[in-house]
Amino acid sequence: MKLVETIPVGNVLGECVLWDERTSSLWWTDIEGRRLHRFDWNDRALHTYATPERLTAFGLVEGRDQLIAAFDCGLALFDPQTGTKGPCLKPEGLVAGTRMNDGRVDRQGRFWVGSMMEAESAAATGRLYCVASGRIETRERGIGIANGLGFSPDSRWCYFADSRQGVIWRYGFDAATGQLGSREVFARSQGGAVPDGAAVDGEGYVWSAQWGGGAVVRYAPDGRTDRVLEIPVLLPSCVAFGGPDLTMLCVTSARQGAGEAQTGAGNLFVYNAPVRGLPESRFKIDGWPGTAAPRR
């Protein structure tokens, strides 16, 4: 795989990168920098929007220009162009010392998002939430740092990582109801790295950013390591497939902590990928408090 482009943004904590095929643009957040970026693929222009709070994760919304966004306060609809944030819904268990973290929309239009402990010494009381029909339901408890959400191409499996434990789990997934089945260890990070943001490709392989390891690992559907892509910075944080044909692997990174003194830390790196990714699903807004039916 060849590095074909570097977008020099110097994010404090770049995260939650995703491709919007409708506008041919790449989105990602700088959580601690309180900025949201959109890179226009056609004119190569970078647009940056201030966020009213730390924006940890987001998803595209069906029929709207808004995003479903995870902020410090909880979950809200957010319009980057105007900076308007709708009323915030606070999940149960989001208390002092915790914050929202990674999230992704499943193929049925639900938004999944997890929380994390801000202090390394704090007890693991983070949760994994499922957001649908205007309700926020807890699906998992006892999480240190929620990360690496993804779904297999056939929606048979849900992948979810706890960075604090260095493990990626695989759950059986009921696509019709959004319920998680039994959990099994899918993979464990090695060499002091921990699993961060992830993406599933069209062949059902999981690409996981290895925070602290300077790499992205591609795991086969049986959990074995298929490929290791070395990244020129220590703290890669999230991955997504982008470009018009979804064959570009886009990797965010951070310059906080151990990456502060590294040249290029916090930039976004784009690689030619040997496989195609999957289109991002859009959040079904039906039932969200105070909203009318989406524009079609």
Catalytic residues: 196
Joined tokens for residue 218: 């591609």
Report how far residue 105's alpha carbon sits from residue 60's, in angstroms, rounded to the nearest whole number. 8
Joined tokens for residue 165: 């434990």
Report how far residue 254's alpha carbon sits from residue 10's, in angstroms, rounded to the nearest whole number. 8
| Phi, psi for residue 166 in degrees, rounded to 5 | 70, 30
Report how far residue 264's alpha carbon sits from residue 267's, in angstroms, rounded to the nearest whole number. 6
Q: In angstroms, what is the C-alpha Rg of the chain?
A: 17
Q: How far is CA 19 from the centre of its chain?
A: 11
Report how far residue 117's alpha carbon sits from residue 100's, in angstroms, rounded to the nearest whole number. 9
- Look up residue 277 and give its DSSP letter: B
User: Do the beta carbons of residue 196 and residue 147 sit within 8 Å?
Assistant: yes
Report how far residue 255's alpha carbon sits from residue 20's, in angstroms, rounded to the nearest whole number. 25
| Phi, psi for residue 253 in degrees, rounded to 5 | -150, 175
Mention every residue, 6+ apart, whose C-beta is less than 8 A from residue 73.
Answer: 53, 88, 90
Report how far residue 254's alpha carbon sits from residue 256's, in angstroms, rounded to the nearest whole number. 6
Residue with tokens 């496989």, as numbered in its chain: 275
